[in-house]
């Protein structure tokens, strides 16, 4: 079989016709026999280019409202025959089947239709049958057929046709085939996931059409990629390309700040996926200053995020700090001029976008899949279990601390006061270690822990944490509860005038 294949005939049947004109014109100039159907046939005729209807090959019209046009042995025989197989070639002659060297077919826009909110029947009608079959057949037989399955490849096809005068190498045909199977597999995944929103079959499928190679992974010796549509979530205004670790921190930042959507101005600083500073104030300037005070050492090289527009005054403060990424829903013109003075600083505008409902991570020889933790502790559901009840301001601080705790690596303890993160103990193997670490850190930055509050992501198995907390002045505690020794912690709080509320919800984050 020859490595190079001259295109003498083409079947063209597409939904998206943008950019198709120059290709059809080039094929015509090369003397290629063109077959087509329906709207594409009319499009080609309107270009004053000769085209043969597929019906002339099959002797069957388009039937069932256009559901069946190309599903016929004469069409698929012309695509699937092997040029080096004598019996295949004899059958082509015997059944008067034309050879088809090029197939240009795309698919009905199923995903776009679903995303538009269309009803079930309209969505089902956009499940392509003939198109997907033609793509699979042409891609399978790449040794003899060139398959073009997306308008995104029109430009590449045009270049191939013009540069080689209609002769296509085996390498090029195989490359186009790989793209075709990527498109077909993505399409089938989208259809399955549409059905599985109601059927709930025990199967997990993901597919991403967009991907970018990163500079490296977590470390320079690791290769890294991001698969997804970053531009759907952010406008990148300035700075270097985001790294693997940048993306993880950005993900942690936007998930944390989602807890404070439509709240008073709130600013957070994250390092290694955990908040090292967070404050809520009456201005974003004050929120940033107090967030930074939580841990100005860890803030170096961190990711900064605001829930409201960043103004000039705030940007001037930020500009004195080395940080990797700044995220906000908007920036004043003056703020942007200041923040973009550092050429590598990444400036992102966060758009309104939908988080995935599931969280997926690799594990052993498979993946773990779970629902996203959408539960946020609120005042209506917390239960006071001590004789002393928290004040209104303490309740505000408890819920504030709980939101931070939910987005901090377990085991974790969060200390807060006046809607400011004082310190947290993150990712410790012992809850006591987490608390001691938080206390040491808060005192190191000269915070007064008197009348502060403590949040824990899980219950206290022993009363040791509340004892340690009480001795440094912490006066209110929020925790899930559920330990068989809850009564011991409650008893200590009652004896020492500490209020405690239980949420009934654990927020582990491993």
Q: Which residues are catalytic?
A: 140, 272
What is the pairing mode between strands 146-148 and 167-169?
unpaired
**Contact at 8 Å (CB) between 98 and 114?**
no
| Strand extents, DSSP E, 73-207 | 102-105, 146-148, 167-169
CA nearest neighbour of 429 among 347, 485, 510, 350: 510
Task: Give the pair of three-digit tokens for residue 10.
Answer: 């083409």
CA distance 490 to 280: 30
The two tokens of residue 307 are: 């829930």
Q: How far apart (Å, rounded) are the C-alpha atoms in residues 169 and 175? A: 10
Burial class of residue 510 in the structure, from the number of CB atoms within 10 Å of its CB (0-12 exposed, 13-18 middle, 19+ buried): exposed
List b or e across 72-88, with b for residues whose CB sees 16 or more CB atoms inside 10 angstroms: bebbbbbbbbebeeeee
- Quickly count: other Cβ atoms within 10 Å of residue 259's Cβ: 19
234 with 325: CB under 8 angstroms?
no
Both structure tokens of 455: 């949040």
Q: Are 161 and 148 in contact (CB under 8 A)?
A: no
- Contact criterion met (CB below 8 Å) for 273 and 374: no
| Calpha distance 396→402 (Å, rounded) | 10
What number of CA atoms fall less than 13 Å from residue 445's CA on the CB side?
22
Tokens 């009905």 locate to 108
Cβ(458)–Cβ(491) below 8 Å: no
Q: What angle do CA 439, 443, 445 make, to 5 degrees?
A: 125
- Give the Cα separation of 422 and 477 in Å (integer): 15
- SS3 percent helix, strand, coil of the chain, rounded to 5, is 40, 20, 40
């Amino acid at each position: 079989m020859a490595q190079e294949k001259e295109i003498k005939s083409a079947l063209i049947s597409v939904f998206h016709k943008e950019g198709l004109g120059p290709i059809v014109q080039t094929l015509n100039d090369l003397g290629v026999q063109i077959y087509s159907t329906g709207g594409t046939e009319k499009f080609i005729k309107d270009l004053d280019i000769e085209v043969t209807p597929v019906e002339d090959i099959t002797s069957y019209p388009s039937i069932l409202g256009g559901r069946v046009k190309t599903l016929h042995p004469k069409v698929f025989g012309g695509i699937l025959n092997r040029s080096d197989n004598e019996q295949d070639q004899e059958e082509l002659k015997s059944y008067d089947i034309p050879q088809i060297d090029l197939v240009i077919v795309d698919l009905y826009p199923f995903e776009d239709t679903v995303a538009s909110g269309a009803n079930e029947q309209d969505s089902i009608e956009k499940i392509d049958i003939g198109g997907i079959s033609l793509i699979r057949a042409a891609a399978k037989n790449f040794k003899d057929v060139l398959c073009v399955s997306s308008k995104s490849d029109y430009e590449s096809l045009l270049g191939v046709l013009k540069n080689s005068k209609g002769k296509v190498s085996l390498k090029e045909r195989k490359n186009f085939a790989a793209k075709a199977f990527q498109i077909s597999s993505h399409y089938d995944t989208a259809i399955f996931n549409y059905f599985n929103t109601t059927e709930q079959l025990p199967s997990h499928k993901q597919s991403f059409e967009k991907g970018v190679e990163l500079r490296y992974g977590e470390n320079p010796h690791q290769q890294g990629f991001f698969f997804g549509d970053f531009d759907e979530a952010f406008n990148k205004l300035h700075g270097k390309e985001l790294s693997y670790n940048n993306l993880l921190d950005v993900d942690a930042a936007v998930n944390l700040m989602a807890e404070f959507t439509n709240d008073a101005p709130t600013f957070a600083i994250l390092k290694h996926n955990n908040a090292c500073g967070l404050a809520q104030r009456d201005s974003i300037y004050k929120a940033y200053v107090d967030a930074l005070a939580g841990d100005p050492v860890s803030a170096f090289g961190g990711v900064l995020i605001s829930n409201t527009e960043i103004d000039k005054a705030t940007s001037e403060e930020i500009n004195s700090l080395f940080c990797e990424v700044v995220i906000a829903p908007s920036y004043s013109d003056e703020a942007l001029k200041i923040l973009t003075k550092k050429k590598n600083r990444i400036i992102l505008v966060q758009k309104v976008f939908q988080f995935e409902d599931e969280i997926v991570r690799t594990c052993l020889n498979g993946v773990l899949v779970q629902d996203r933790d959408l539960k946020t502790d609120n005042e209506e559901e917390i239960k006071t279990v001590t004789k002393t009840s928290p004040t209104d301001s303490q309740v505000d601080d408890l819920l504030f601390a709980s939101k931070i705790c939910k987005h901090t690596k377990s085991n974790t303890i969060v200390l807060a006061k006046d809607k400011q993160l004082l310190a947290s103990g993150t990712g410790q193997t012992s809850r006591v270690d987490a608390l001691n670490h938080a206390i040491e850190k808060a005192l190191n930055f000269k915070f007064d822990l008197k009348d502060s509050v403590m949040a824990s992501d899980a219950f206290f198995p022993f009363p040791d944490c509340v004892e340690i907390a009480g001795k440094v002045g912490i006066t209110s505690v929020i925790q899930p509860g559920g330990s068989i020794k809850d009564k011991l912690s409650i008893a200590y709080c009652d004896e020492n005038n500490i209020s405690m509320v239980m949420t009934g919800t654990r927020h582990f984050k491993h």
